[in-house]
Amino acid sequence: MKSSQSLLIIMKNNSRNSRTTHTPFFTSRLDRRAFLAASAGTAIGLILPKPVFAAKVVSRPLRFYNIHTRERMVVDYTPGSYGGSVRQALEYFLRDFRTGEMHTLDALLFDSLYAIQNNCEVQTSFEVISGYRSPSTNEFLWKTSSGVARNSLHMQGRALDIRVSGLPTKTLRDLALNLHQGGVGFYPSSDFVHLDTGGKRSW
Ligand SMILES: [Zn+2]
């Protein structure tokens, strides 16, 4: 496929094959709160009137545009059940566009995008500046650009550089910081936000 061609894929996250499960961070937080509430109730002899359940997680479309390949993609994403055709489509879409190499991607990245979209007042289309980077590409960028880490989490499929069309990048940064997850880097001169699933930090 020529890089100038647009690609529109609508994927449904309903494959039972090769699905992996993970605990979305916001439901795990709710579960922990419910656990603590139940523990406190037990400690002081109270019986909770009803079991406390985590919020229901529903699938929602995540829209993407890759500024380098000019491809577009929509995936129907459900936090906690990243796998099957959705996983394959995202790994291809977020490949190293310079070398064509693909890598596994951390599902928590997409949980973050899902949460940002839910807290966003505009219909989001995530513009991808950088997804997976092969070691050779990262080394090249480290030597020729500023603001590139030599041991970047992009090389582990645990980082994305994004902006949202129609949304100030500063607002996107604030939405990402409000998740209290991983790393959030703000690059106003290049107009994007770096998200990763490493330790909680910001710059
Ligand atoms: Zn980055």
Domain locations in the chain? 10-21+60-202
pLDDT tens for each residue of 71-125 = 999 999 999 889 999 999 999 999 999 999 999 999 999 999 999 999 887 777 9
pLDDT tens for each residue of 124-135 = 799 999 999 999
State in Å: Cα 87 to ligand 1 middle. 20
State in Å: Cα 124 to ligand 1 middle. 20
Q: Which residue has the tokens 């419910």?
A: 34
State in Å: Cα 168 to ligand 1 middle. 18
Segment 149-159 mean pLDDT: 97
Using DSSP, state whether 126 is helix, strand or coil. Answer: strand
Pick the CATH number of 10-21+60-202 from 3.40.50.620, 3.20.20.70, 3.40.50.300, 3.30.1380.10: 3.30.1380.10
Cα separation of 29 and 23, whole Å? 10
State in Å: Cα 39 to ligand 1 middle. 40
State in Å: Cα 92 to ligand 1 middle. 18
Segment 165-171 mean pLDDT: 93
pLDDT at 81: 85
Do residues 183 and 108 make contact, with C-beta atoms less than 8 angstroms apart?
no
State in Å: Cα 37 to ligand 1 middle. 38
State in Å: Cα 51 to ligand 1 middle. 41
State in Å: Cα 97 to ligand 1 middle. 15
State in Å: Cα 108 to ligand 1 middle. 15
**Cα–Cα separations (whole angstroms), residue 10 to 7, 72, 94, 131, 178:** 10, 10, 15, 20, 29
Q: What is the mean pLDDT of the chain?
A: 82
State in Å: Cα 40 to ligand 1 middle. 41
Q: Which of 7, 194, 9, 195 is nearest to 108 (CA)?
A: 195
State in Å: Cα 139 to ligand 1 middle. 14
Backbone dihedral angles phi then psi of residue 13, each to the nearest 5 degrees: -90, 60
Residue 32 has pLDDT above 90, yes or no: no
Residue 60 has pLDDT above 50, yes or no: yes
State in Å: Cα 203 to ligand 1 middle. 11
Residue 4 has pLDDT above 80, yes or no: no
DSSP state of 167: S
In 10 A of CB 69, how many CB atoms?
18
The distance from CA 68 to its chain's CA centroid, rounded to whole angstroms, is: 19
